[in-house]
Amino acid sequence: MDTQALALALPLIGWASHTTLLTHRLATARRDPLTGLRTRAGWTALAERVIRRHRDAVVLLLDLDDFKNLNDSHGHAAGDFALAVTAERLATWCGRHGIAGRFGGDEFVAIARQAPDLESLHRALNQPVAYAGRRLPVSVSVGSCQVRDLPVRSLSDALATADGAMYAAKGTAGRRGTRALHR
């Protein structure tokens, strides 16, 4: 290859490499590095599409109960492990009929295309986690919102309703559970 052709090709090679790097960064930014679930931005775009296409969609907001205590008692590595296991359980439950995401901290979100079996989700999430020879207690509060019950089908309204339901579930006596609120 002559020097003139090389001089013309180098900027193109640089541009192609830079584009590949940016594409990779964008793709990984849509996934949470700890759990592998979609981040808020990645999940939101998909959830809005599901709401437009599926009248019976259900939005879920989930929060680990007493997560700070778990971190303080067993260490941050144990807390990270509990988050990863919770994410895996949620993703498995969603399967092909929903999308799971992590909003940050110990807060997760999911959307199902039709009314899900929330009792099976509750059973799957509220199982102890085996970590370093110990069984860590894991309890998750879940709030849900059926999109069809909203006056206007919007993700922000569905999340707000699910958030209220989640905090109502946290306030129930005894073991945490699931709760659905309707406006």
Which phi-psi region, left, alpha or beta, contains residue 54 (left: φ > 0; alpha: ψ -120 to 50)? Answer: beta
Q: Which amino acid is at 51?
A: I
Catalytic annotation present for 149: no
Q: Which residues pair with 62 in a beta bridge?
A: 108, 142
Query: Given phi > 0 = left and psi -120 to 50 = alpha, else beta, which region is 53?
Result: alpha
The tally of CA atoms less than 13 A away on the side-chain side of residue 32 is: 25
Angle at 98 between CA 138 and CA 124, to 5 degrees: 25
**Annotated active-site residue in 63, 65, 72, 106:** 106
SS3 content of the chain, % helix, strand, coil (to 5): 55, 20, 25
The string of DSSP codes covering 120-148 is HHHHHHSS-EEETTEEE---EEEEEEEGG
Distance CA 85, CA 140 (A): 12
List active site positions: 106
